[in-house]
Amino acid sequence: MNRKIIFRSLIAVNIILGIWLIISVIGAVNELNLQYVEADSHTSWSLVMYLEREEYGVAAGLARPVRGGEMIAGENEDYYRIGEYAELSFLKEIYVKKGATETVAIYENRLASLRERLPEYAAIFDKIDTSVINSIKE
């Protein structure tokens, strides 16, 4: 009787451990995935929050990895691109001030291509443009 109880308990424990092992192995394999980026859900969630709060500068900083060539998971890439738009808009003003017309043209093309790529976010892009204009203190 006791043996049966012990045996059944062990089976139950082993099933739980087996499930835990499978989850751990899947987690370990995912962790070792050699993709450069992990648009981890936490960063993407933060990015969305800051864009909603109109904190475009913070979003630009969070999205910076994409400018370094990191790959972002499909469903989150749009938010990163909006952040990239904010950063490029910010940096473009430096070239405008420097009078580097060629570079300004390159940045404007990039900004235009981001707008073309994400037409559904036109309103946010407009707000970013406005925030850049409003932030110029000269």
Partner 1 sequence: MKCRSCGGEISLTDKVCPYCGRPLEETIRHRSDMEKYNKENEKAKARTGKAASENLPIVISVLIMLVLIIGIGVSRYIIAEAYHFRSDALRKESKERYEEYEPIISDYLNEGDYTGFAAFINAHNIATYDTPYNRLDLLNDMAKEYTKVVNSVECACLVGEEAKQYLSEDEVYSCRMAIESFYQEYNDKKAAIEKDAYRDHIVDMEARVGLIMEIYLGMDAEERTAYLAGSVNEQEAYLEEVILGE
Q: Which of 27, 49, 101, 113 binds partner 1 (CB under 8 A)?
A: 27
Nearer to partner 1, 26 or 112 (CB): 26
Is position 129 an interface residue for partner 1 (rule: CB under 8 A)?
A: no
107, 88 contact by CB (below 8 A): yes
Counting beta carbons within 10 angstroms of the beta carbon of residue 55, is it exposed (0 to 12), middle (13 to 18) or buried (19 or more)? middle
Q: Which of 43, 44, 47, 65 binds partner 1 (CB under 8 A)?
A: 65
| Binding string, residues 32-51; x marks residues near partner 1 by CB under 8 A | x-x-xx--------------
Q: Which of 48, 67, 108, 115 binds partner 1 (CB under 8 A)?
A: 67
Q: Which residues bind partner 1 (CB under 8 A)?
A: 3, 6-7, 10-11, 13-14, 17-18, 20-21, 24-25, 27-28, 31-32, 34, 36-37, 53-58, 60-61, 64-65, 67-70, 86-87, 90-91, 93-95, 97-98, 100, 103, 106, 127-128, 130-132, 135-138
